[in-house]
Amino acid sequence: MPRPGPARYGALQSAWTWTPRKLDRRVERRVTGCSTTGWSTKVRTLEKQGLRDGRTASRALGTSRCRPSWTAATALRPGGRREATARPPAGFVRRQRSWFRRDQRVTWLDATRPDLVEAALALA
């Protein structure tokens, strides 16, 4: 892969980093949150508007795996749909991280730093 050129327009690129375990927990919490806040109801509504006919929205992470028949109880069943739904986003997070790690324009900051905002501002 060719190396990217210098940042355009004097832009500063930074990213926060977490351990893979922490990222997995964040993805899991997000999936759980979607399951308990009516994600399947939202998908049902979008399906009535043609969601599955589209080329991109129907393939979005989470949306493509959510089925209208799911309820919060079935989505959250241990060993069931929650884990299956969380797997693709977790893999996507890992691929994104690998992709951006190669971009030398990005300055990585530990997301757990108590002075994260100050450290990011100091880069400018």
pLDDT tens digit sequence for 58-80? 566 666 556 555 555 555 555 55
Q: Which residue has the higher pLDDT, 54 or 17?
A: 17
Give the per-residue pLDDT at 66.
Answer: 60
Is residue 114 over pLDDT 90? yes
Amino acid (one-letter) located at 93: V
Q: Which of 89, 33, 24 is nearest to 61 (CA)?
A: 89
Mean of all residue pLDDT scores within the chain: 75
Q: DSSP letter for 51, please.
A: G
**Dihedrals φ, ψ of 5, to 5°?**
-80, -175
Half-sphere exposure of 29 (CA within 13 A, CB side): 6
Compute the distance between CA of residue 98 and CA of residue 21 in angstroms, rounded to an integer.
15
pLDDT tens digit sequence for 78-107? 555 666 666 777 788 888 888 888 888 889
